[in-house]
Structure 1
Amino acid sequence: MSEDAKNIPNWRTELERKLRWLLVARLIILIFLFSTLVLFLSQHQFLFKLFVIYGLITLGYLAALYFWNIARREVRFGFLYGIELLIEIGFETAIIQYTGGESSPFTLLYMLTILSSAFFFELPGTVATATAAALAYSILIYLRTRGIITPIYMPNQALIHPDPEFIFLSAYLRVCFLYIVAFLSGYLSSKIKTHLGELEAAKQQLERAQWNTDQIIQHMRSGLITVDENGRAVYFNPAASRILQLPADEVLGEEISRTFPDRLKPLTDALLAALKSPTVRRSEIEIE
């Protein structure tokens, strides 16, 4: 098997690559959220602390999963990442509660979690994540409309509408939007994974065919020399090396007009003439 074929990324390296990209993406988004919080909501110390804890847990858990993969722990990744998603949804629900409940603009954080799940899970996983987020948000809205809990509003923020029916309608539309995001991200994730799998399979087949061809050429009894348009030898099989009595390492990558000795001048001239000729040429050459 060729070296390239041996270096085909397996599921662990693919998982490591996805985790690296997810860590970078989440870090950028959290920096943006913290910047917004500092600029507009710096007086809310509790909310700021809640965001800090949310960011540390999110990035810390993902970093732990990254090093878990490097350590080759034999634990199901889906189970561990599922726990991380549930923790995220819990903190996002708390952030929504402390930023106005049904009036909170941070319901978009649920979308972030759903999109993150699409990195590793296909459509069933994103739908399950959306369902967990929808349940958490629905319970929050239900407790708020029943008066069991009272949302904390930010400055200059008012209740969207005091009517419970309107609140449930608003919550229903947001839940529908979460499922739309889940279906789209899950579908695209499945398609991308399928296409990448097909490309990887095609790559393996091509490398296997190349390896088989190389093995045939290396062990054939006839000499084979391949030169590029500049007259440099790009292939020189063992039979050619044996017949012409030239070491392959001295010929490969060099111009045959310089590396071929005078006794091979007829062969050199024939090869260079064939390069300039637009037609296929066949001839016999006697080598001393």
Structure 2
Amino acid sequence: MYRERLVWFILARVVVVSLFLFSTIVLRARGTGTLGEQALDGITAILVATYGFSILLLLILKLAKGYQLPLTYAQIIWDILFVTGLILYTGGISSPFSFLYLLAIISASVLLARREAFYTASLCSIVYGGIIDLQYYGQLVSIGLGPLVAQRYGTNYIFYTIFINIVAFFLTALLTGYLAERARESETELEKRAIDYEELERLNSSIVSNLTSGLLTVTAEGRIRVFNHYAETFTGITQEDAYDRDLYDIFPGFRLYEGNLSNVKRGVFELLAKNGRKLIVGFNSVPLTGKEGESAGTLINFQNLTQIKRMEENLKRADRLAVIGELSARMAHEIRNPLAAISGSAQLIAQGDGIPEADRELFAIVLREADRLNGLITDFLAYARPSQPEKGPVNLTDLVGEIVSLVTPDRRFEQVRIINRVEPDFTLPIDPDQFRQVFWNLFVNAAEAMSEGGTITVDAERIDEIRSDGEPRSAYRITVADDGSGMNQETISRIFEPFYTSKASGTGLGLATVYRIIEAHGGRITVESAEGTGTIFIIFIPVQRNY
């Protein structure tokens, strides 16, 4: 700022000098007038020297830094010398150019400070008074200023002239110094405020960009304006692409609150992501107002609640299953003891002599059903008290192939075709015995859902992605899909609960056991299904650093 001001003052001097030069040229063209040829030559020399000095200052300012203050002093001194030369060549006491000293004083006030302005006024007073005195006493005859002109005016006029000019010099220094200081203070305050505004803007941008939730603003017409980094990551749409787009184009779920969005403090809606997953989005909204208090739009803060909702459901399910499991395990132990006594007694009786054949058949039924109940209790205890998985690197293709070989002789798989799309070298850290049980239960469940036959497809891949919260995630994704009858939403919500089954002969422990095994591996299992469209079970197993 100071450097620019100095440049402008140099350019202003060039303009003033150009006017004097033009005047000198006009005088030469029309004759010397009241000035002699020697005076015009001297004025011309001063003007040319001033041009050269100004150009030199501009070059130094352009090529070097840190010399502004010395150059300012040099400029003020040169201005005083320039005015002094004009006065000497234009009659001394009779010269009309003594007022130009005021320009040097103003320059000192604006470029430096009030103190320097008074110094400049003092120097101008000394120089101007010295010129008049020297002329009066005949000391400037050598440059064409004789004493007769000054003596003709008289001492009273000379003292009056010197006094008036000195008063003018110091009044100019006082006023311009005061105004310049006020201007500098105002400029400093303005710069401070401008800096504060810039800092606030940077702080605001930093906060908005680094929020761990989505932030967007929409106009009263529903057009998007602010769209922060979280929103970009969450939607895959940049601020530039989102700007001025309709809110409902990017978030169709907001249509549930259309026309009343600014009055809704909290809300939840579903969003279909690009990968086909359904996300649950929660939001808060507050109205935005303009300068006059009018409605200017809505500020919306939103967050992906899918994981939170899933965790809530898992916790509820885990609590429910824990209570059921503990109670059922105790009951199973209590049932197993009398069941063993009944089974043993029936065997002893059936082995006795004199038992009618019809009674032997009844005893056989009792023993068979007792064995079935014992197997059911064994399965349930395995579910209620699962063992910790012994993880190791397992080739998933070979594991699925083993299960396919085991289920092929089963009558339920006579019209079922199993397609194994897992890559031959796909390996992941799992407990092979527990995952054999997982695939067995999933295959049996799929086959029973396809009474007229169909296809079961197994696929697996490793996914590396950036979650909606910006964190990287790596997991093994295993899918088991069938084209069976599918399930309704009520069945999907309860499918992993123990003893819940939609089949007449099912125990309701197969998928519950699958859930517990996946959970013990630190993973999760989800279901995508609808009536008449088949079912897809999706298993996610987290990637471990050692594999």
TM, length-normalised to structure 1: 0.79
- The within-5 A match list for 1:58-137 is 58-75=50-67, 77-137=68-128
Q: Which deviates more, 195-204 or 80-89?
A: 80-89
Runs (5+) with no aligned partner, structure 2: 272-547
Deviation at 1:96, TM superposition (A): 0.9
AA of the residue aligned to 1:273: G
Residue of structure 1 aligned with 2:48, choices 42, 47, 56: 56
Q: Aligned partners of 2:66, 2:120: CA distance in 1, in Å? A: 24
Q: Aligned partners of 2:106, 2:42: CA distance in 1, in Å? A: 22
Contact preservation (8 Å) 2:216, 2:227:
yes
Aligned position for 1:256? 246
Q: Aligned partners of 1:15, 1:215: CA distance in 2, in Å? A: 32
Q: Aligned partners of 2:263, 2:117: CA distance in 1, in Å? A: 59
Q: Aligned partners of 2:43, 2:71: CA distance in 1, in Å? A: 22
Contact preservation (8 Å) 2:6, 2:72:
no
The structure whose residues are more often strand, as a share, is 2
Residue 153 of structure 2: SS of its match in structure 1? coil
Deviation at 1:160, TM superposition (A): 9.0
Q: Aligned partners of 1:105, 1:160: CA distance in 2, in Å? A: 18
Aligned position for 1:192? 183
Runs (5+) with no aligned partner, structure 1: 1-13
Contact preservation (8 Å) 2:150, 2:158:
no
- Quick one: higher RCO (CA 8 Å, sep 6+), 1 or 2? 1
Q: Aligned partners of 1:217, 1:177: CA distance in 2, in Å? A: 58
Deviation at 1:56, TM superposition (A): 3.4
Residue 237 of structure 2: SS of its match in structure 1? coil
Superposed CA deviations along residues 130-187 of structure 1, whole A, max 9, x for unmatched, are: 111111111111111212224858xxxx769531232122112111111111211111
- Give the number of equivalent residue pairs: 262
Aligned position for 2:2? 15
Residue 142 of structure 1: SS of its match in structure 2? helix
Contact preservation (8 Å) 2:224, 2:245:
yes
Q: Aligned partners of 1:139, 1:287: CA distance in 2, in Å? A: 92
- Change over 3 Å in CA distance of 1:82–1:246 after alignment to 2: closer
Deviation at 1:190, TM superposition (A): 1.0
1:273 aligns with 2:263: no
Contact preservation (8 Å) 1:161, 1:167:
no
1:204 aligns with 2:204: no
AA of the residue aligned to 2:81: G
Identical counterparts, % of pairs: 21
Residue 148 of structure 1: SS of its match in structure 2? coil
Residue 254 of structure 2: SS of its match in structure 1? helix
1:234 aligns with 2:225: yes
AA of the residue aligned to 2:62: I
Deviation at 1:37, TM superposition (A): 3.5
Deviation at 1:107, TM superposition (A): 0.6
Q: Aligned partners of 1:52, 1:234: CA distance in 2, in Å? A: 64
Contact preservation (8 Å) 2:83, 2:101:
yes
Contact preservation (8 Å) 2:20, 2:47:
no
1:163 aligns with 2:154: yes
Aligned position for 2:304? none
Superposed CA deviations along residues 99-126 of structure 1, whole A, max 9, x for unmatched, are: 1211110112211222222331111111
State the superposition RMSD in angstroms: 2.8
AA of the residue aligned to 1:27: V
Aligned position for 2:394? none
Residue of structure 2 aligned with 1:219, choices 197, 210, 221: 210
Contact preservation (8 Å) 1:102, 1:171:
no
Residue of structure 2 aligned with 1:176, choices 147, 156, 167: 167
The structure whose residues are more often helix, as a share, is 1
Q: Aligned partners of 2:52, 2:109: CA distance in 1, in Å? A: 19
